[in-house]
């Protein structure tokens, strides 16, 4: 049944109001004044870029009791130029702690994706702070990278001129030390060294980037501590997903936040990308493992 123009308009209006940054800033300011928190907790969101981490951040960050600090603010992140080793790295823990002590929101949502390989350090520094790891099916991430970096969008976001082979090549052990090859296990490094010569296209190298960043979840041994959030499942059942997220972060996320979501175009309906068979095989194997771990987390949170 087709929706009426008035219902479509009202739905769009409600979605716009719920997602309004100005309204969120105002409601957060009111919440800080009326219900100040003296012991704020961090909420860390990690994962591979282009995996739905921003959507996850927005769904939680629209809450007036959450300070959505994102991944850029000078109070929480080093202000290094794009392309340098410290770009978008979280500030040292003592500086993060100084900011936390002055916070009056209940949660400070921080998304240090360039520090995903350091999750155990964050868990040790902030054992009471929830940590989430978002993952998305690898072809969706590859498509998103191709769109983000190799089209006109690059000019808008300041990444124009990005060379995929140079950028992703930083995951190799032989590359100069950076966040991309930091804390890799010997097995991790060996797998990348074996597959890298097979990468001949931009899709190949972005698939290897997905592989490298997502296998960190298992290499770091954080499966029992860090909730794995499946991007596709989040889109399929946002209401249920928000209920589960609320249990994980120990804070009720308003169900209305799901109104910012629109009907997704699933990657499964698109033609498969041309990716080297051995690279694809490695990605599929890891994707299956991640999907299983995410399903176990959903079941665990549904019972809690």
On whether residue 257 sits in a domain, the answer given is: yes
Domain assignment present for residue 36? The answer is yes
Q: Is the pLDDT score of 10 beyond 50?
A: no
pLDDT of 9 strictly over 70: no
Least confident segment among 19-23, 41-45, 177-181: 19-23
Q: Does some domain include residue 241?
A: yes
Q: Is 280 within the bounds of a domain? A: no
Instruction: Tell me the pLDDT band of 151, cut-offs 50, 70 and 90.
Output: low
Position 196 in a domain:
no
Q: Is residue 167 part of a domain?
A: no
Instruction: Give how far Cα 114 sits from Cα of 122, 212, 288, Å.
Output: 13, 13, 24
Q: Which of 1-10, 46-55, 229-238 has the lowest mean pLDDT?
A: 1-10
Cα(216)–Cα(214) distance, integer angstroms: 5
Residue 229 lies in a domain: yes
Of 107, 110, 105, the closest CA to residue 90 belongs to 110
Quickly count: other Cβ atoms within 10 Å of residue 83's Cβ.
11
pLDDT of residue 4: 41
Token code pair at residue 58:
């927005």
| Ranges 5-9, 68-72, 148-152, 282-286, most confident | 282-286
Q: What is residue 6's predicted lDDT score, i.e. its pLDDT?
A: 39
* Beta-carbon contacts of residue 106 (< 8 Å; ≥ 6 apart): 37, 40, 41, 65, 66, 251
Q: Is 99's pLDDT higher than 70?
A: yes
In this prediction, residue 13 carries a pLDDT of 55
Where does the pLDDT of residue 25 fall: very low under 50, low under 70, confident under 90, or very high at 90 and above? confident
* Number of domains into which the chain is organized: 1
In this prediction the pTM is 0.89
What pLDDT score was predicted for residue 73?
Answer: 92
Q: In the prediction, which pLDDT does 18 show?
A: 57
* Model pLDDT, residue 149: 80
224-282, pLDDT tens digit by residue? 999 999 999 999 998 899 999 999 999 999 888 888 876 555 555 577 899 999 999 99
Q: Give me the pLDDT at residue 268, please.
A: 54
pLDDT value of residue 2: 37
Give the model's pLDDT for residue 17: 57
Q: What is the pLDDT of residues 196-228, one digit of tens each?
A: 999 999 999 999 999 999 999 999 999 999 999
Residue 170 lies in a domain: no
Q: Pick the residue with more confidence: 101 or 33? A: 101
Among the residue ranges 41-55, 130-144, 251-265, the one predicted with the least confidence is 251-265
pLDDT at 97: 96
Query: What range does the domain containing 298 cover?
Result: 9-161+222-266+288-303
Alpha-carbon distance of 137 to 213, in angstroms, equals: 13
2-11, 19-28, 37-46, 56-65: lowest mean pLDDT where?
A: 2-11
CATH number of the domain encompassing residue 78: 3.40.50
Question: Residue 281 — φ and ψ, nearest 5°?
Answer: -60, -40
């Amino acid at each position: 049944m087709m929706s009426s123009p008035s219902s479509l308009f009202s739905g769009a209006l409600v979605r716009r109001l719920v997602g309004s940054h100005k309204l969120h800033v105002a409601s957060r300011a009111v919440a800080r004044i009326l219900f100040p928190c003296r012991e704020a907790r961090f909420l860390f969101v990690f994962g591979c870029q282009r995996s739905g981490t921003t959507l996850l951040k927005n769904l939680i960050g629209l809450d007036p009791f959450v300070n959505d600090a994102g991944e850029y603010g000078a109070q929480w992140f080093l202000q290094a130029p794009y392309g340098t080793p410290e770009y978008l790295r979280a500030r040292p823990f003592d500086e993060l702690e100084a900011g936390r002590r002055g916070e009056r929101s209940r949660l400070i949502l921080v998304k240090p994706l360039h520090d995903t390989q350091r999750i155990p350090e964050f868990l040790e520094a902030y054992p009471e702070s929830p940590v989430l790891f978002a993952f998305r099916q690898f072809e969706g991430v590859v498509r998103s990278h191709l769109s983000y970096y190799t089209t006109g969008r690059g000019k808008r976001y300041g990444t124009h001129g990005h060379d995929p082979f140079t950028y992703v090549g930083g995951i190799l052990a032989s590359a100069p030390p950076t966040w991309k090859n930091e804390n890799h296990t010997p097995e991790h490094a060996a797998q990348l060294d074996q597959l890298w010569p097979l990468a001949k296209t931009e899709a190949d190298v972005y698939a290897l980037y997905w592989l490298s960043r997502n296998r960190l979840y298992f290499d770091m041994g954080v499966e029992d501590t860090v909730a794995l959030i499946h991007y596709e499942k989040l889109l399929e059942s946002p209401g249920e997903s928000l209920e589960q997220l609320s249990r994980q972060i120990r804070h009720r996320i308003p169900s209305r936040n799901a109104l910012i979501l629109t009907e997704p175009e699933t990657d499964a309906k698109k033609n498969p990308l041309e990716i080297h068979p051995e690279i694809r095989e490695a990605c599929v194997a890891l994707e299956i493992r991640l999907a299983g771990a995410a399903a176990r987390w959903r079941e665990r949170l549904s019972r809690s």
